[in-house]
C-alpha cells in the first residue's frame, strides 16, 4: 500500500479494493453522495457514459456534459456549468478516455473545481502511468486506478485515493453501501488488514509491479508511454492515416481511423492471425471504424517497430497503398531524436 501511494504520488489515503476498476468507480459514487445530489458528468466516450449510467443508477441528479467521441469536455464549459450550478456536489471525469484515445485537461479542471464545494472524481484507470496527475497539488479528490492497465498485472484490483475534502463529504453521505464501504476499508487498512478476504495473489503481483514502477520512477513510466504515443502518431501521419482524436491525443492508447471503406476488424484480426499480437477495435458505434494501440505499462520501442511494421503489411493486404517501411521509419526517427542521445553504457 505504501508502494501504491508512492506510485500515485499522493499523501491522501489510498485504498485497494478487490474488483476491476469499475468497482472503485462505483465506490466513489456510493461513498460520498446522497440520493438526488446534483453532480456533473463529463462524457466524451464509452467510459464517460459509464459514469453517467452509474450516477443515475444510484439516484444522483447528473448534468451530463457530452462531447462527440474523439473530442473532450473543455475546462471553460465546466467552469460555465459550475458557475450556473453552485449546488453541484461532485464532478466526474475520465483523465484518459480509453475508448477514443483522448485525454482531458485534468489540471485545468481541478483548478476550477477546487474553488467550489464540489469534489473532483477522476477515473484515472488509464491516466495513471500515461499522463502527469498531481493528486495533492492539483486537488484531485478521488483518483481511481486499476491493476490491469499501467500497473501491468491481471485485472482484479482497483485503487482509490481519497482527499480530506472527500472524507468530509463521506461523513454526510447517506447512500446505502456495504461491500465497498471506504470508511470501513480505511479503518482496516490502517491495521494492515482489509474488510473482506483480499485477492492475495494479485497483491503479491502488485507488490512486484510497484517495485518495478517505483525503481524506474512513475515519471519515466509516463514519459515512455508518451514517447510511444508520439511515435505512433508520427507513424500514422507517414502512412496517411487519420487520428481519431487529433486535437487531444492521450498516451494510454492511440486510436487510428482505418482508411475509408476498410473495416478495422480486419486489422485487429490480422494482427492476431499473422503476428500473434492484440490490438483493440473501437467500442460501440466506433467498432469497425477505428483500431487502438496501447502504450501503457510494459511496452517499448522494440514493440513499436514490430507493431507498425505489421500494421503496414496489414494495410497493404487490405488494399491501402503503403510504402513499406515508411511508418517504421517515422518511429525510428522519434527514437533517434529522444532516446539515442543516451550513450550506451557497458
Ligand atoms: C479499463 C477502464 C475502466 C475499468 O474497466 P474495468 O473493466 O472495470 O476494469 C474504467 N475506465 C477506463 C477509462 C478504463 O480504461
pLDDT value, residue 340: 77
CA of 336 from ligand 1 middle (Å) equals 34
CA of 221 from ligand 1 middle (Å) equals 19
Domain extent, residue 171, equals 2-215
Query: 215, 231, 256 — which closes off a domain?
Result: 215
Query: 183, 215, 247 — which closes off a domain?
Result: 215
Query: 182, 215, 248 — which closes off a domain?
Result: 215
Decide if 222 is inside a domain: yes
Measured in Å, how far apart are the chain's first and last C-alpha atoms? 35
Same domain, 291 and 233: yes
pLDDT value, residue 88: 98
Decide if 34 is inside a domain: yes
Same domain, 231 and 332: yes
Decide if 346 is inside a domain: no
Q: Which of 16, 19, 20, 202 gets mutated to test ligand 1 (max ligand atoms within 8 A of its CB)?
A: 20
User: Would you tell me how many other CB atoms lie within 10 Å of the CB of residue 329?
Assistant: 13
Same domain, 208 and 272: no
Instruction: Give dist(CA 311, CA 83) in Å, integer.
Output: 47
- Indicate if the pLDDT at residue 343 is higher than 70: no
Same domain, 123 and 174: yes
As a whole number, mean pLDDT of residues 271-282 equals 97
Total domains in the chain come to 2
Task: With cut-offs at 50, 70 and 90, classify the pLDDT of residue 119.
Answer: very high
pLDDT value, residue 346: 62
Task: Report the mean per-residue pLDDT for the chain.
Answer: 97
Of 60, 3, 1, 2, the residue nearest 26 (C-alpha)? 60
Q: Is 253 in the pocket of ligand 1 (CB under 6 A)?
A: no
Amino acid at each position: 500500500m505504501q508502494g501504491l501511494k508512492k506510485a500515485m504520488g499522493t499523501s491522501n489515503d489510498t485504498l485497494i479494493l478487490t474488483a476491476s476498476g469499475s468497482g472503485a468507480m462505483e465506490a466513489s459514487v456510493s461513498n460520498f453522495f446522497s440520493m438526488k445530489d446534483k453532480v456533473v458528468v463529463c462524457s466524451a466516450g464509452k467510459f464517460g457514459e459509464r459514469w453517467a449510467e452509474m450516477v443515475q443508477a444510484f439516484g444522483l441528479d447528473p448534468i451530463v456534459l457530452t462531447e462527440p467521441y474523439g473530442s473532450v469536455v473543455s475546462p471553460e464549459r465546466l467552469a460555465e456549468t459550475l458557475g450556473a450550478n453552485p449546488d453541484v456536489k461532485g464532478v466526474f471525469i475520465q483523465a484518459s478516455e480509453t475508448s477514443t484515445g483522448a485525454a482531458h485537461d485534468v489540471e485545468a479542471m481541478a483548478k476550477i473545481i477546487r474553488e467550489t464545494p464540489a469534489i473532483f472524481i477522476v477515473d484515472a484507470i488509464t491516466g495513471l502511468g500515461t499522463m502527469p496527475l498531481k493528486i495533492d497539488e492539483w486537488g484531485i479528490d478521488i483518483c481511481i486506478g486499476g491493476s490491469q492497465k499501467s500497473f501491468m498485472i491481471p485485472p482484479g484490483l482497483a485503487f482509490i485515493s481519497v482527499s480530506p475534502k472527500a472524507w468530509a463529504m463521506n461523513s454526510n453521505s447517506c447512500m446505502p453501501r456495504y461491500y465497498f464501504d471506504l470508511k470501513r476499508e480505511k479503518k482496516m487498512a490502517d491495521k494492515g488488514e482489509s474488510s473482506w478476504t483480499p485477492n492475495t495473489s494479485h497483491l503479491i503481483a502488485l507488490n512486484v509491479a510497484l517495485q518495478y514502477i517505483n525503481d524506474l520512477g512513475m515519471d519515466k513510466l509516463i514519459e515512455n508511454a508518451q514517447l510511444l504515443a508520439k511515435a505512433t502518431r508520427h507513424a500514422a501521419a507517414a502512412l496517411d492515416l487519420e487520428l481519431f482524436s487529433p486535437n487531444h491525443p492521450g498516451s494510454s492508447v492511440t486510436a487510428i481511423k482505418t482508411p475509408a471503406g476498410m473495416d478495422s476488424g480486419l486489422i485487429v484480426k490480422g494482427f492476431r492471425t499473422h503476428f500473434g499480437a492484440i490490438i483493440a477495435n473501437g467500442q460501440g458505434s466506433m467498432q469497425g471504424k477505428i483500431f487502438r494501440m496501447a502504450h501503457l505499462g510494459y511496452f517499448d520501442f522494440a514493440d513499436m517497430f514490430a507493431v507498425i511494421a505489421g500494421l503496414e503489411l496489414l494495410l497493404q493486404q487490405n488494399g491501402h497503398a503503403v510504402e513499406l517501411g515508411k511508418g517504421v521509419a517515422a518511429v525510428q526517427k522519434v527514437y533517434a531524436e529522444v532516446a539515442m542521445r543516451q550513450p550506451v553504457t557497458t
